[in-house]
Amino acid sequence: MRISVIDLGTNTFNLLVAEWDEDGIPKILNRSKYPTKIGKGGINKNIITEEAIARAQNAFETITEISKNLEVSKTLAFATSGIRSAENGPAFVKMLEEKYNINIEIISGEREADLIFKGTKKSIELNHETVAILDIGGGSNEIIIANNEKVFWKKSYPLGMTRLLEKFNPSDPIKKNLVKEIEEYLKSQMTDLFEALDIHSVKTLIGSSGSFDTFKQILLAKIPESNGFPTTHFEIKLKDFFHLHQVFLASNMQEREQMPGMDPVRVELIVVASIFINFLIKESGISKLFQSSFALKEGALFEYLEKNTHTPNKAQTVESKN
């Protein structure tokens, strides 16, 4: 059986196609992303612009073609913050459903956090230590405080990078006074998070996918032989993060475009993402930082497998060489 999972994010539409036997380990046949930027120009007005709709349709055309060519028999599709907060989000989803004969679930921030947690805990093995899991999106950021046995706290904040970028409209390079202004705004919006992190004595932060993937790619680009590192997760040493953070703050768009390992989709957003992560680390006293390669898509895949097959609870994936 082959299944595709589509994550209709605010910056990118993401596709995951997997194949498995009923008792086997899923084999990843396709993992791809498409820069739709559906939040651009309208996210803080709660609307998806006509230009963004056109970009999204083009991406969805490619995604459905790939799924068709790979003979997918089951599709799971999820729309997140940029769509759920838009006044024309339901109409946009209905248009895609009718045109491509597909069901798309517009999910809540809480449901999004659940799927992110399910994906992340398959990427990096949790133990009795209570950790924070952070997914930085374009429209929202999901944060989960949990260990291997229990979720203690979770919340979705409408503080995604596209929202912050359009709210503050930073210069390029960003000015120091604006960095402080963004940090003060984040502090005012997330007081309950810092209280929760303190209550649960969280010292480890796991960042899922997105901007954290970019940090990993840039750091690995500096290492000649990086094949020995795990593919599902990566420890980002704090000294390396702080160094990169300062590099991003001092850089302009053109310089970031030339950085080895930089994801083109993140060039515009990585500065505000870095400010967000840096502020969270400083404010909460985080001492360890990890990247998880799995997030919402993988969480949805494993959830479906566990409900519909005899796949063992401790599922893994095998990446196709094709």
Q: Range(s) for CATH 3.30.420.150 in the chain? A: 110-292
DSSP string of 86-154, one letter each residue: STTHHHHHHHHHHHHT---EE--HHHHHHHHHHHHHHHS---SS-EEEEEE-SS-EEEEEE-SS-EEEE
Superfamily of domain 2-109+297-319 in CATH is ATPase, nucleotide binding domain (3.30.420.40)
> What would the CATH number be for the domain defined by 110-292?
3.30.420.150
Residue 173, preceding bond cis, omega within 30 degrees?
A: yes
Nearest-10 Cα torsion for 269, 270, 274, 280: 50
Q: Going residue by residue through the chain (322 aa), what tens digit of pLDDT does each one get? A: 899 999 999 999 999 999 987 666 789 999 999 999 999 999 999 999 999 999 999 999 999 999 999 999 999 999 999 999 999 999 999 999 999 999 999 999 999 999 999 999 999 999 999 999 999 999 999 999 999 999 999 999 999 999 999 999 999 999 999 999 999 999 999 999 999 999 999 999 999 988 999 999 999 998 876 566 668 999 999 999 999 999 999 999 999 999 999 999 999 999 999 999 999 999 999 999 999 999 999 999 999 998 987 655 444 665 665 4
Which residues does 5 contact at the CB level (< 8 Å), separation at least 6?
A: 15, 16, 17, 18, 75, 76, 77, 78, 297, 298, 300, 301
* DSSP secondary structure code for residue 16 in this structure: E
pTM strictly above 0.85:
yes
Task: To the nearest 10°, report the CA torsion of 115, 132, 44, 58.
Answer: -40
The boundaries of every CATH 3.30.420.40 domain in the chain are 2-109+297-319
d(CA 200, CA 195): 9
